[in-house]
Amino acid sequence: MDDLFERIAPVQPSRETMADGAVLLRRAALPFEKDLLAALTGITAISPFRRMVTPGGYTMSVAMTNCGAAGWITDRTGYRYDRIDPQTGKPWPPMPDCFLELAVVAAADAGYPQFRPDACLVNRYEPGARLSLHQDKNERDLAHPIVSVSLGLPATFQFGGLKRNDPVRKFALKHGDVAVWGGPSRLFFHGVAELKDGDHETFGRMRINLTFRGAL
């Protein structure tokens, strides 16, 4: 494990408190950037991005796929995790080593040294896409934190409280930033404001978000 911390140390990520149990690690994903991009290409070749439909019939503006032992899906029957990709009929792609390493290092730096994710939601935001305020509560054990990695275009992260109408704080997320929340803030409502247009040197006109969970 020590070599993982040595790998990320040269970037010297700054630490910003979002709430009790929630931190924002600036630039923490940058040492993994090249490996993450290559791994993403492999994942989407097996399980392509798709825009899922919510139980209420709304087509999400964010395109999604998954990797790991299980993937998060939504359709007319509800929200859930499943080991099988419903689009391919096969298991989701395995979680790449660089994904796991980044999630473990970031979680430990945020105060969650025991975190070992078994699922990663991969979200693709294009200009105009947004994610409304919601709670992550489909996981079986809510003792695990959420680790959320931002790549590509900048975005505005909205972080509220345990009630939907609680005051919302806004955080500007840039390429390489990692947000981690758990413990007292594990069920805080959160979302992403409508993505503004732009052109990132590596990811072009999009933002990629990797969200690591302990799902099973």
Domains by residue range for the chain, with CATH: 2-213 (2.60.120.590)
Question: Which segments within the chain are labelled E, that is strand?
Answer: 15-19, 22-25, 63-68, 71-75, 78-82, 84-85, 90-91, 119-125, 131-134, 146-152, 155-159, 169-173, 178-181, 190-192, 207-213
Distance of alpha carbon 107 from alpha carbon 15, whole angstroms: 12
**Tens digit of pLDDT at every position of the chain (216 positions):** 444 444 444 456 699 999 999 999 999 999 999 999 999 999 999 999 999 999 999 999 999 999 999 999 999 999 999 999 999 999 999 999 999 999 999 999 999 999 999 999 999 999 999 999 999 999 999 999 999 999 999 999 999 999 999 999 999 999 999 999 999 999 999 999 999 999 999 999 999 999 999 999
Find where tokens 């899906």 sit.
Answer: 73
Partnered with residue 211 across adjacent β-strands are 121, 148
- For residues 27 and 179, is the Cβ–Cβ distance under 8 A? no
pTM of the shown model = 0.92
